[in-house]
Chain A
Amino acid sequence: MQITFWGTRGSLPTPINGKVVRRKLVNALVKGAGKNLDTPEKAEAFCENELSFAESGTFGGNSSCVQVDTGGPEYLICDMGSGARELSLAALGKHGPGKPQVYNVLMSHVHWDHIMGFPFFVPAFIPGNTIRFHSCHPKVEQAIRNQNHEPCFPVEYTALAAKIEFVPMEEGKPYEIAGATVTGMQQLHGNDSYGYRIEKDGKSVVYTTDAEHKPEDGEDMHRAANFYRGADLVIFDSMYSLAESISVKEDWGHSSNILGVELCHMAEAKKLALFHHEPVYDDERIQGILAETIRFEEITRPGDVPLKVVTAYDGLVIDV
């Protein structure tokens, strides 16, 4: 499977502004001074080899949307955050508007940042396309219909040209979707959320966002670890620090990098992708958290097999 991250920010889209771009540019120019960067190739190599990711790029600001390419003809997408707009444009660019596609969308829940991309999901406006929402959450249809409705949006749901279907799922029951086997698990979050384990040809990806785990709740910790068991990739809500998540932001419905590592260690998962980044964090902060998380994994590793830790960013592609 190939996983493409189209939106990785939590709660609210967070575009960088001109001031931030200028700061990155000034920093890069100062670091590149005297290095004879007089061709695009030299400048590209300088960015790649001598600047950090936060200095030369950005983790991005679109809200949750992750594509899982299962190798089949149908799309499989996790959530419809603002990243869905760019996904849809890429899909149209690949296939052209005249070739109908089937888009399967797994919905974790229906909070705004996870549905806000749908009104701008271009295939919904094109006849012949099928958009099939799958979810354990009972209010997906209500939320999607209400979002495309006056006075919040000028295009009514009923005016959308694509065929749109809503397929309810039961927690813990496997379903065949887009050529993969998908199983849902209920998570602790305001109004509930659901994580999904996606399996295909012996590989597995777990998409678990907007989920709070109480570290002292052994039953929940073991339940989550069993759901992640042996996964090749766990996409994990690490929005807060551990201290925040069990003090001032307790019961806000999100987890931490620390719990992501602990649960993946318990599950003997292979790779952890930090996800649903706090909107107030800039690129340097997210990069710093990644470095700290890699170190935390190293000093708390229970055995000899390392857990690979990465931070998701808009545009990241991971093969499992």
Chain B
Amino acid sequence: MNCNETKFGGAVVLKVAGRVDLSNADEFKDKLTAALGNAPGGSATGGLVVDLGGVDYISSAGLRSLMIVFKASKAAGKQFAITSLQPLLMEIFTISRFHLVFPLFDTARAAIEKQVPDALGEFDSHK
């Protein structure tokens, strides 16, 4: 599993690639937590966008890591979004019913536009 974090104004985008399972779920949670910590909270509009486009498998332990950080984002008043799910990953989210829990978007841009609109200009300027 590889994680690559980039900040666009108030939006932190964490691009994840590889396989997330019981063996690296704790590491995944730590990366998510650190990335969430880098997003502004409080009165500033900030949030974490988790781009799973490079992930080909996620186990229950990985989904649990996402759930923990999603709850933490709510507690911190920060936005949270998951984007770019491959078809197989979308099936896993659907069968596990996490598609009903997490805010899902087709692309990181769509997530930022909806969740952290003030950061959209900076995101687009990096393209």
Contact = CB atoms under 8 A, between A and B. Distances in A.
B64 A293 contact: no
A259 B64 CA distance: 12
Interface in B27-41: 29
B92 A243 contact: no
B96 A258 contact: yes
Tell me the dominant secondary structure on chain A's binding face: helix
B33 to A, nearest CB: 13
Contacts of A247: 67, 101
A221 interface: yes
Contacts of B97: 241-244
Interface string A206-229: 000000001110100100000000
B57 to A, nearest CB: 7
A262 interface: yes
A147 to B, nearest CB: 35
B88 A242 contact: no
A258 B25 contact: no
A300 B67 contact: no
Interface in A290-315: 292-293, 295-296, 299-300
A78 to B, nearest CB: 26
Contact of B64 (A216, A241, A299): A216
A243 B96 contact: yes
A296 B64 contact: no
A259 B91 contact: no
Given A243-B97, A259-B60, A299 B92 contact: yes
Interface in B72-127: 88, 91-92, 94-98, 100-101
Contact of A299 (B26, B63, B91, B98): B91
15 contacts: A215-B25, A216-B22, A218-B22, A241-B96, A242-B60, A242-B63, A242-B96, A243-B67, A243-B98, A243-B100, A243-B101, A262-B59, A295-B95, A296-B91, A300-B59
Given A218-B22, A242-B98, A292-B95, 15 more contacts: A215-B59, A215-B60, A215-B64, A216-B22, A216-B64, A242-B60, A242-B63, A244-B97, A246-B64, A247-B101, A256-B60, A258-B95, A295-B91, A296-B92, A299-B88
